Chains A and B, each alone.
Chain A
Amino acid sequence: MTAGLVAPSPTPWRQAWSRFARRWPAVLGLGAVLLIVLAALLAPAIAPHDPLAMPDPVGLRAAPPSWPHLLGTDAFSRDMLSRLLYGARVSLAVGIASALIAVLLGGAVGFAAGLGSPAVDALLMRGVDVALALPRVFILLAALALWDDVPLGAIILLIALTGWFGVSRLVRSHVRRLAAEPWAAATTALGGGRRRMMRHLLPHVAATIIVSATLDIGNIILLEAGLSFLGLGLGPPTPTWGNMILEGRDLLFTAPWVALTPGLALTVTVIAFNLVGDGLRDALDPRAVARSAAGGVA
């Protein structure tokens, strides 16, 4: 406590980090996320086999786990562990890239509505209201069914384009709330335009944006896996966790490990991202924590 009087107080980001680091579930989640990302990046180097190679479609068909094939093989004798590692690349690429694009789009629209004239605000938010009621999954189904083999970029874009509405609302209301505060009024009084205002608001709103992006990654990974399970998206032989489960489904009663491992990988990955997201939310918005803690103790 006394040290705080002498030493310069740490920046808000540093404080947030120390709050984050104090929660073991969040740290565990972050560790898992880093490990999974690393495994996906290094897939070509660490995968024991070629994920597409079919060494012995008859003798090694859906073989149980063994030393040369730690997680067994699938219906075409391909190595499950290698396919799992390569499949991680698709899930992570779609999850992270789509969440990033969605958040940038939603953030831009949210700022435009929050700082714009009432007419612009009303127009944008009415539009977002309507868009939020769109049956996202069915629109994705219809759009993806147009192609037999959808390029990765198209999947990322389609998921991002149908997923930014919620963020824009969050950002807009946060911007409105901040813009009503005295220091924001002071910015305007000192002659700052919308540009200056945005520069002042951005660091505050960044927390909202980062948290919602992180929590969105998990949802998007599940969404992509579901689409893949329906046979939409990257077609075979490219391994994705979703289409691996689809292929494992035919072997469900004879070789359950083929469907089991990609599903476990999905669950662990999504849990990891959600733990990080929950941790970030608590760390970046200490007031929310204080509120819920007060509610809990009283």
Chain B
Amino acid sequence: MARFAFRRLAAALLTVALVVSITFVLAHLAPGEPMLADAERFHVDPARVARVRAEFGLDRPLATQYAMYLGNAIRGNLGESFTMRRPAVALLLERFPHTALLAGAALLIAFAAGIAVALVQATRPGSWTDALLSGATLAFHSTPTFWLGLILLVVCAQWLGWLPVGGMTTPVEHQAMGAMGRMLDVGRHLVLPALTLALVQTAEIARYQRGALLDALGSEFVRAARAKGLAERAVLVRHALRSALAPVVTLAGMSVPALLAGSVLVESVFGWPGMGRLTRDAIVSRDYNLILAAAVASAVLVALGNLVADLAAHALDPRTTL
């Protein structure tokens, strides 16, 4: 186990290092040096330009710059946001809890709904219900997340007036609320974005779990459980479902990339103040350091998710060595 964990950790670090290198290359492909592109046009004193270049190490050879960049990245320094004049990593860390809340809620909804749908389908394979639910999961699997969010916004927030149109809290009132009221307020704002992010994942999980459940129901151990006279319900829940549920942690770990990518779109639709919206704002204002830092941060989170997935898979079945 220790050796396996060590190897997976090494692979994860390698991936993150690769992403840092890619961002370095991308930063140097960017047209012009961000801060100095307009220096000539605005007649900035050449001595001053040279000083700034020296300060940011832009006058050193590329290899030296790369080493500096890597060294800084290891120490958690990914440069400063051009627009907000603050360290990019600090900005991302500030928003991380909000994204974690959104993604966590989405994941919970997705697993609960996905497994429920799969259970309904797998107990009546080939029926109309099965076909209908398969059609529905295919449709959600094929729907653009951000568009689904906009539709939910129009229907639930505008037409029905049930839920707030965006943000994470009610602007002024939130300050005046008690602890319980604040939690409820955030909860109300969380419903639509979490549902949007969850729906696409639900489809994915339902499609996967339906197959896993059908496989389990056709297996020897289920036949054995039936042969010893267990009620169908007990066979389903205690035997088939349990074996189909085993990879849930693995699946959760592997859904990190989709959740992060989805959060960029969903958070921009609902104005949810997380890492995703920060990334989107950085794209709009071409805040390059912040975009690259977001890429590195996502690589770290994806690597962590994969690590959890691999370790869980290994713990469940030590034969998996990858």
Contacts and interface: CB of A to CB of B under 8 A. Distances in A.
Contacts of A270: 142-144
10 contacts: A134-B18, A136-B261, A142-B295, A226-B144, A230-B265, A266-B143, A270-B142, A274-B142, A275-B138, A296-B126
Contact of B141 (A134, A139, A232, A274): A274
A285 to B, nearest CB: 14
A58 to B, nearest CB: 25
A138 B294 CA distance: 7
Interface string B280-308: 10011010100110110011001100100
A138 B142 contact: no
User: How many A residues are at the interface, by size bracket?
Assistant: 35 or more
A152 B150 CA distance: 27
Interface in B1-42: 11-12, 14-15, 18-19, 22-23, 26, 29-31
A135 B142 contact: no
A45 interface: no
Contact of A295 (B146, B158, B215, B260): B215
Given A230-B268, A295-B218, A298-B218, A137 B280 contact: no
A242 B299 CA distance: 25
B298 A230 contact: no
A225 interface: yes
A249 interface: yes
B147 A141 contact: no
Contacts of A141: 264, 279, 283, 291, 294-295
A217 to B, nearest CB: 11
A293 to B, nearest CB: 9
B146 A232 contact: no
A296 B125 contact: yes
A146 B257 contact: no
Interface in A110-131: 129-131
Interface string B142-167: 11111110110110001000000000
B257 A137 contact: yes
B206 interface: no
A266 B261 contact: no
Contacts of A275: 138
Interface stretch (A170-178, A180-188, A204-212, A256-264): A256-264
Given A139-B19, A230-B283, A267-B147, 5 more contacts: A138-B261, A139-B295, A141-B291, A225-B144, A263-B150
Given A135-B260, A135-B299, A274-B141, A145 B288 contact: yes
A271 interface: yes
A245 interface: yes
A231 interface: yes
Contacts of A267: 139, 142-144, 147
Nearest to A260: B151
A218 interface: yes
A253 interface: yes
Contacts of B299: 133-135, 138
Select the residue from A130, A142, A248 with max chain B CB neighbours within 10 A. Answer: A142
Most buried by B among A138, A229, A263, A294: A138
B211 interface: yes
B162 to A, nearest CB: 15
B145 A138 contact: no
A225 B144 CA distance: 8
B217 interface: yes
A134 B291 contact: no
A135 B283 contact: no
Contacts of B18: 130-131, 134
B246 to A, nearest CB: 17
A142 B290 CA distance: 10
Given A256-B154, A275-B138, A230 B306 contact: no
Contacts of B217: 295, 298
Contact of B214 (A131, A252, A278, A292): A292
A137 B142 contact: no
A289 interface: no
A229 B146 contact: yes
B266 to A, nearest CB: 11
A250 to B, nearest CB: 11
Nearest to B23: A142
Given A225-B144, A245-B146, A145 B283 contact: yes
**For A145, A249, A275, which residue has the most chain B Cβ atoms within 10 angstroms?**
A145
A135 B295 contact: yes
Contacts of B269: 249
Nearest to A248: B150
Contacts of B153: 252
Contacts of B283: 141, 145, 230-232
A274 B260 contact: no
B230 to A, nearest CB: 16
Interface string A265-298: 0110011001100100000000000001011111
Complex A-B, nearest 4 residue pairs according to Cβ-Cβ distance, in ascending order = A295-B218, A263-B147, A137-B261, A270-B142
B142 A133 contact: no
A218 B11 contact: no
Contacts of B294: 138, 141
